[in-house]
Amino acid sequence: MDITRRHLSFTNEQESTTEPAEDDTVIIYNRVPKTGSTSFAGMAYDLCTQNKFHVLHLNTSKNSRTLSLSDQMRFAVNITTWSEKKPALYHGHLAFLDFTRFGIIKKPIYINIVRDPLDRLVSYYYFVRYGDDFRPFLKRRKAGNRETFDDCVKRSGDDCSADNLWLQIPFFCGHVAECWIPGSQWALEQAKQNLIHHYLVVGVTEELGDFIAILEATLPRFFKGAVQLYNSGRKSHLRKTTKKITPLPETVDKIRESKIWAMENEFYEFAVEQFHFLKHQTFDLVNGEFVEKGNRFMFEKIRPR
């Protein structure tokens, strides 16, 4: 079901056109690298003025994906008490952080996007060599290295090691030491539990438009107009790796022999299954249009009168 190829009707469209009430909602998009995160964050920046919310980028020292315990506390307190910047969407490459550990009662809303793990690794491999069309003149750390991903796998190089696949699981697992041990079964199960219990919705790169549609239907306070913006094409493909070579079948087969690929792929397929479940629960196909399945509950037998 490709929602974005059809007109969308939202049952809450009338309500979402009213002036948004003041609120203290905080959304955290702890973006995984090379999953379409720049495109999505760019859309949030385009929407924030008209929908009257704030977008803030979290920049960590040395691009660290985890914070010290003291910084975890400061971060949790900061974003939940910074009233002048609410409502807000924070985005950055940071592992999941459980706010209940710090006594935070009203937790932020988590969202994220995942991608086929091998596609993500190949994209990153060529990105650090050739850059992208977003900042084409920025010299990347592997600039000048023209070795293909296939050749790297043949010689068992570090850049293409299956260990580098171990990223989406740790991002969802969090700040526990075990999360960052490649091949940890506990980390895989914890990542699944966090996805189910702590994330409002986790989309997939391959269906980015449908992820945006679900967000607009669920959080129009932030994402009203997102589908139209995405369908306009201006934010659909914001960032592309300049040069990327599809790996040979024998290369793919070798990567898939690894335990780490199997575990990352299991997590990815788990996320896809949950996303498709949400998508089919959120929209109906009616006369060739996808319509939100909204307003399907009511309150009755209210006492006392």
Taking only the tens place, the pLDDT of each residue in 98-150 is 999 999 989 999 999 999 999 999 998 998 888 766 555 566 566 667 899 99
Q: Is 198 a catalytic residue?
A: no
- Asked, for residue 298, whether it belongs to a domain, the answer is no
Query: CA neighbours within 13 Å on the CB side: how many for 300?
Result: 2
Q: Rounded distance, CA 260 to CA 6, Å?
A: 38
- Asked, for residue 185, whether it belongs to a domain, the answer is yes
Residue 237 CB neighbours (<10 A): 11
Query: Percent of the chain at pLDDT above 90?
Result: 72
Per-residue pLDDT reduced to its tens digit, 191-216: 999 999 999 999 999 999 999 999 99
Could you tell me which of 157, 186, 35, 179 has the C-alpha nearest to residue 95?
179
Structural tokens at position 141: 């750390």
Per-residue pLDDT, 247: 96
- Asked, for residue 70, whether it belongs to a domain, the answer is yes
Residue tagged active-site, from 7, 57, 91, 197: 91
Range of the domain at 104: 3-292
Structural tokens at position 117: 């793990």
Q: Is 91 a catalytic residue?
A: yes
Could you tell me which of 113, 107, 279, 274 has the C-alpha nearest to residue 193?
274
Q: Is the Cβ–Cβ distance between 30 and 94 less than 8 Å?
A: yes
Non-local CB neighbours of 236 within 8 Å, separated by 6+ positions? 39, 208, 209, 230
| CATH code where residue 47 lies | 3.40.50.300
* Greater pLDDT, 269 or 21: 269
Residue tagged active-site, from 7, 54, 57, 93: 93
- Asked, for residue 303, whether it belongs to a domain, the answer is no
- Asked, for residue 186, whether it belongs to a domain, the answer is yes
Number of separate domains in the chain: 1
- Asked, for residue 299, whether it belongs to a domain, the answer is no
- Asked, for residue 305, whether it belongs to a domain, the answer is no
- Asked, for residue 302, whether it belongs to a domain, the answer is no
